[in-house]
Structure 1
Amino acid sequence: MKSYSDSYKRAGVDVTAGYEGVRLMSEHVRRTHIPGVIGGLGGFGGLFKPDLNGMKAPVLVSGTDGVGTKLKLAFALGRHDTVGIDCVAMCVNDIICSGAKPLFFLDYIALGKNVPETVAAIVSGVAEGCVQAGCALIGGETAEMPGFYPAGEYDLAGFSVGVADEERLLDSANAAEGDALIALPSSGVHSNGFSLVRKILADSNTSLGVTFDGLDRPLGEALLAPTKIYVKPVLALLREVPVKSAAHITGGGFYENIPRALPAHLSVKIDRAALRVPHVFALLQRLGGIPDRDMFNVFNMGAGMCVIVAERDAERTLGVLSREGEEAAIIGRVVAGEREVLFA
């Protein structure tokens, strides 16, 4: 007997829509299957058998996050197929900062009304993010919550688990004075600071449909550009260069995240001229009259991921990243101090 309840449907929850959503998302989930995946969707737990061969002391590294108020732009633009990439990126980019390879991902979608096509579009983005990260989407949950979320709106969160050999974990204690700080470019605003973005747009009465000078697409599309996933280039780098530590530049910008890659007695000095800041940040700063300090304390300012390496390894690092398609740049040096971010 198939599960169905008229009473529950009258209360706002259509279980058959949930089943249709699972059917539509299944093809996207299959794209992410890698060795280690056991079974498919429908069980009470996602199963994964990791290959730990060659590891002396495997350590599991986990990360969890959501997309935040960037979802409001997805609602406004009617675009639901990219925010899943953001969700994956916010988790796996944190994991890679420990030197771990992401293995699998699970998502959680809570919505006011379950529209199977919308859910499938969201999951298609999650699947694309997993493909970019080289990990498997092995499960998730879709919760229809009428009266809690309005119809047409949803929240999206997830978590990922990765693995690294203990002796190869990155550690902020390894950074030393004179080391190079190298930035991997971002694709734009990524998925943090959107409460400020939305306030800037509201206060300046700026339309998402306007294409400003310096942008190659309407502002809404530029802002919705998904968070870049750095897993594959950073893993390639770790195989060839002794990276000391890394920082994912998310909420809190430079001032909060870069110090997390430093020991307590060291700081970094950033060369402003070396930064490649996408035009969208200058536009937001102008529209909102935002001070420089706040811009660097909220946004990634074009540096989505930073790695710290010895000065002697800096050029080799740039070469490896270039081979991986990343136009990385040396943006600063580690200096004496108390975990501060300084600008030259």
Structure 2
Amino acid sequence: MWLAHASWQPQPMPLTRREGIFNNSLTTLGETATSSLAWCAAFAAHLGNWWWRSKPLPEGKLRSAGKTMEPFEPSRPQDEVIQRPVMETLRQRIASWQQHATIIGGRYQSGKSVATEEALRGVRGVVRFTIRSADWADRMCKQLGVDDEGLFKEVMRRVPEKLKDFPNNLTKFPILLLEVPRTTTEGINLISSTAKDVATDKIGSAIHVIVSASSAAVALAFDAGGTERQEDIWVADLTEEEAKEFLALHGHEKNWKDFVDACGLRIGDLVKACENLKKGMSLDNTKQEYQRLATVEVVGFMELQVHPKVTGREGFQQHSHPPSGACRANSQQELSCCVFSPYQEALLFCFHIA
């Protein structure tokens, strides 16, 4: 009634303005719906994650978690192992670990596996797996009796709670020890991404990934996201004192120098020389055999490629500068990463890459 007598009368709104308001309303409605859906999805994910973590694991999966609580047992008895400084370095790394993968590198037969195992002796919460193929993750889950990688991570995430029952354990985090044999050149990408993923997770869920690479080339190819996201520990050859102590364990305390002169200071070579001597092979024959194998190794290295990085001739040259038409490493350590003895260094020079 009042509008009928008022001087102001409502005017029809222009079509373009009506369309704009309508479109703006739809946009606002869409944004609101999208935001609501995103919130609902996030809440559902959080609720699902809470449910997954709180629900009891099947009995078989609990046994998989329980196996990791057994003290780690190295392959060699303790009285057959000499203590080396690198073992203490590894123990300190394990005890103080918070994030990022640990890469154990060194020359072939330098004793990386023994050093790593000895550092882990008696430690609870360790899962060990040897990588032999590109589908190693699926094989690892099958070996541990879990269905997939997600369930494996969940089992491992429950390990810290169980470790609270062992306050004297060297670490409060679960450890995934991945051993990479010398013949393995596939699956390195997956190893790197897995280490980057689980070893940099939030505190309380992270897994300490330790990669023990039999070949120095594999260690060089490993990349968990740059040097700031991985800790590289180098296992060097024995010192003469360590070689003397080791050979004394094998009954050669008097002629230990003869072994070193013939075989060098790689502990694996010294072990083999002791075994050969028991079979009747002289040290001179062992030395000749090592030189033959060294030649094969150098030739094989020329063609070696470990994805995602090339670590053969091209990779070696990337770390070198060319003097007088040949390539030479910038440091002796770079050279020793790729070649295995002074004899092989001479061979590499003959191949024009040293």
Q: What range is the shorter-chain TM-score in?
A: under 0.3
Query: Per residue, is there more helix in 1 or in 2?
Result: 2
TM-score, normalized by length of structure 1? 0.27
Query: Per residue, is there more strand in 1 or in 2?
Result: 1
TM-score, normalized by length of structure 2? 0.27
Decide which structure has the larger Cα Rg and report it.
2
Which of structures 1 and 2 has the larger relative contact order (alpha carbons within 8 angstroms, sep 6+)?
1
